[in-house]
C-alpha cells in the first residue's frame, strides 16, 4: 500500500481471492493441499514425525516449559528451526546466547506445532482457524512474559494474526530484537570480533511488516563484521520469493526472485550473506550459482554470527 497513490490494500484483495478459490471453488494447488494435510497430521508442512520436533536440542539441556513455572520468554522455534538442518544451527546458537546472557526462557519441545502461516497464505482459512485455536489454547497453559520467535513468519502470525482471536494476544519479539536488547544492556558482551565482509538481506516480515531494520544490523556491527549494503535494502529490499506459501509448492515459471536478489549480493563481492529468516536461509542456500556471481557465497543467520564472538 505504501507505493499505491490510491492507498489500496492490494494484499487484502489478493488474499480474499485466494480464500475464495480455496474455500468456495476448492481450487488449491496439489502440493499446497498436501502441506495442509501434513500440518494437520504431523504438526508441520514437511510431514516429519512430531516426536522428532525436539531432536535439535539433543545434548543441549534446553529448558522445556512447564505449567505453573513462569519464564520471561517462551521461545517458539517454528517448523524450519525444528526440522531444517541449517535453521536448527541458528536455534542452537540462539539458545547458547540466551543461556550466556542468563535469560529466563523455555521452549515447548515436542508439543509445539506449526503456527499455520503457510495454510493461511494458501487461502485455507478454515484450517488456519482450527490450528490457531489449538495453538492459542496450548500456549495459554503456560505462564510466560513474551514470545520470542526464530522466524519472522511466526512473528507475524503469532504477534499480529493470533491477536484477532479470543485470548490470542501475545507480546511477540523476533530473536534479533531480543539479542540486540541483550547487547545494549550489557548482558551479552562480544569477546572477540568476526573478521568477515558481508551483505544483509532484510526479510519481508521482519522489515516491511514489523518495521524492524536496526536490530539485525546492531548485532552485525557488534560482531565486528564489515557490512556492504545492497542498493535495495531496508524498505526497498526484494522478497526472497518464499513468502505467500511458495515454500511448499512449485510456482509456475516466472521471475526468479531469489536469483535476482542473489545477483544484488554478487555485485557487492562479499563472502557471506546474512539474514534473519528461516525461509530466506533455505531459499538462498538453494539458489547460489555462478550465474549470479555467488557460487562461493555462504548464507548465515545473524545469531550464528554473533555466537562466534562468545566462547
Q: Where in the chain is the domain with CATH 3.40.50?
A: 191-307
Burial class from Cβ neighbours inside 10 Å (0-12, 13-18, 19+) for residue 225 reads buried
Angle among Cα 48, 61, 178 to the nearest 5 degrees reads 85
- In the numeric block, which cell numbers belong to residue 304? 550464528
Three-state DSSP class for residue 148: strand
Give me the residue label for grid cell 548485532: 219
Residue 254 CA from chain centroid, whole number: 24
Distance CA 65, CA 148 (A): 14
| pLDDT > 90 fraction of the chain, expressed in percent and rounded | 70
Give the class (CATH, top level) of 191-307.
Answer: alpha beta
The pTM score is 0.91
Distance CA 206, CA 76 (A): 16
- In the numeric block, which cell numbers belong to residue 228? 556492504
Segment 221-271, tens digit of pLDDT: 999 999 999 999 999 998 888 766 666 666 665 567 788 889 899 999 999
Distance CA 115, CA 180 (A): 25
Distance CA 118, CA 36 (A): 8
Task: Print pLDDT tens along the chain (311 aa).
Answer: 456 554 556 555 455 545 535 445 455 667 777 888 899 999 999 999 999 999 999 999 999 999 999 999 999 999 999 999 999 999 999 999 999 999 999 999 999 999 999 888 777 888 899 999 999 999 999 999 999 998 999 999 999 999 999 999 999 999 999 999 999 999 999 999 999 999 999 999 999 989 999 999 999 999 999 999 999 999 999 888 876 666 666 666 556 778 888 989 999 999 999 999 999 999 999 888 888 888 999 999 999 999 999 97
Amino acid at each position: 500500500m505504501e507505493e499505491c497513490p490510491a492507498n489500496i490494500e492490494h494484499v487484502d484483495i489478493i488474499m480474499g481471492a485466494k480464500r475464495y478459490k480455496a474455500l468456495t471453488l476448492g481450487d488449491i494447488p496439489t502440493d499446497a493441499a498436501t502441506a495442509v494435510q501434513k500440518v494437520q497430521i504431523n504438526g508441520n508442512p514437511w510431514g516429519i514425525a512430531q516426536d522428532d520436533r525436539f531432536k535439535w536440542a539433543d545434548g543441549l539441556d534446553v529448558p522445556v516449559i512447564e505449567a505453573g513455572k513462569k519464564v520471561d520468554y517462551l521461545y517458539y522455534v517454528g517448523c524450519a528451526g525444528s526440522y531444517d538442518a541449517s535453521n536448527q544451527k541458528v536455534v542452537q546458537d540462539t539458545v547458547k546466547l540466551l543461556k550466556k546472557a542468563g535469560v529466563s526462557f523455555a521452549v515447548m519441545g515436542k508439543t509445539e506445532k506449526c503456527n499455520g502461516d503457510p495454510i493461511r497464505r494458501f487461502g485455507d482459512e478454515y484450517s488456519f482457524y482450527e490450528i490457531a485455536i489449538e495453538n492459542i489454547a496450548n500456549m495459554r497453559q503456560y505462564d510466560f512474559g513474551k514470545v520470542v520467535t526464530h522466524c519472522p513468519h511466526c512473528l507475524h502470525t503469532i504477534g499480529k494474526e493470533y491477536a484477532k482471536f479470543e485470548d490470542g494476544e501475545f507480546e511477540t519479539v523476533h530473536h534479533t530484537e531480543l539479542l540486540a536488547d541483550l547487547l545494549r544492556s550489557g548482558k551479552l558482551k562480544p569477546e572477540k570480533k568476526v573478521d568477515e565482509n558481508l551483505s544483509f538481506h532484510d526479510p519481508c516480515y521482519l522489515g516491511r511488516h514489523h518495521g524492524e531494520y536496526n536490530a539485525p544490523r546492531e548485532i552485525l556491527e557488534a560482531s565486528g563484521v564489515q557490512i556492504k549494503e545492497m542498493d535495495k535494502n531496508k524498505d526497498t529490499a526484494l522478497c526472497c520469493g518464499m513468502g505467500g506459501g511458495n515454500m511448499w509448492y512449485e510456482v509456475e515459471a516466472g521471475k526468479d526472485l531469489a536469483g535476482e536478489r542473489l545477483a544484488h549480493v554478487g555485485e557487492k563481492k562479499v563472502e557471506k550473506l546474512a539474514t534473519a529468516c528461516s525461509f530466506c536461509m533455505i531459499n538462498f542456500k538453494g539458489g547460489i550459482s555462478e550465474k549470479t556471481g555467488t557460487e562461493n557465497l555462504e548464507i548465515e543467520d545473524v545469531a550464528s554470527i554473533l555466537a562466534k564472538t562468545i566462547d
